Amino acid sequence: MPRVSESAVVIEVRQAAPLVDDWRRQYTYFGVSEDEISKRLAAAGQPDTGQNGDSYAHDSIEAQLIYERIFRKLTRHSKGEDAG
């Protein structure tokens, strides 16, 4: 029987990251459009320069928009009392 290290396939993170991003965008229920991201970038004072733009800002805003959608979905039926 071969050892695991002999039969395992090693994929570098740089090679795998785009594939994971493509899969996530295709199958994520809470995905956001590029138009929504562009509007949020503009509101934050970041220019939307398309594919050559600041990927950190783009990805951060995309994550924030997804977080907001998940939060709204999970809390839509919640009822709470004011602490005051």
Does some domain include residue 23? no
Q: How far apart are the first and last CA of the chain?
A: 67
Using one digit for the tens of pLDDT, what is the confidence trace for 47-69? Answer: 765 555 678 888 899 999 989 98
Answer whether residue 69 is part of any domain: yes
Report yes or no on 2 lying in a domain. no
Tens of pLDDT along 13-39?
A: 667 777 777 777 676 667 788 999 999
C-alpha angle 14/20/11, rounded to 5°? 45
pLDDT at 65: 92
Within a domain: 51: yes
Can you give the pLDDT at residue 78? 82
In a domain, 53, yes or no: yes
Number of domains observed in the structure of the chain:
1
Per-residue confidence (pLDDT) for residue 36, from 0 to 100: 93
Residue 76 has pLDDT above 90, yes or no: no
Whole-prediction pTM value? 0.54
In contact, 28 and 67? CB cutoff 8 Å:
no
In terms of residue numbers, what domain contains 37? 30-76
Task: Examine residue 65 and state whether it is found in any structural domain, yes or no.
Answer: yes
Contacting residues for 38 by C-beta, under 8 A, at least 6 apart: 48
